[in-house]
Amino acid sequence: MHALIRLAKANPSALRFLVVGGIGFVITMVINYGLKLFVIPQHPVTALAIGIIVATVVSYWMNKKWSFDDRGERHTAHEMLLFVVVSAIGVGLNSAPLYLSRYGFGLEVPNVSRTTMEVADFVSGPIIGTLIAMVFRYWAMNKWVFPKAAETPDAVDVLAPGVTPPTAPTPTVPSR
Pick from 3-17, 66-80, 84-98, 110-124: least confident = 66-80
The answer, yes or no, to whether residue 4 has pLDDT greater than 80, is no
**Percent of the chain scored above 70 by pLDDT?**
80
Local confidence band at 165 (pLDDT 50, 70, 90 cut-offs) = low
pTM of the model: 0.69
For residues 44-66, average pLDDT: 89
pLDDT of residue 119: 95
Peptide bond into 12 cis (omega under 30): no
| Per-domain residue ranges of the chain | 9-145
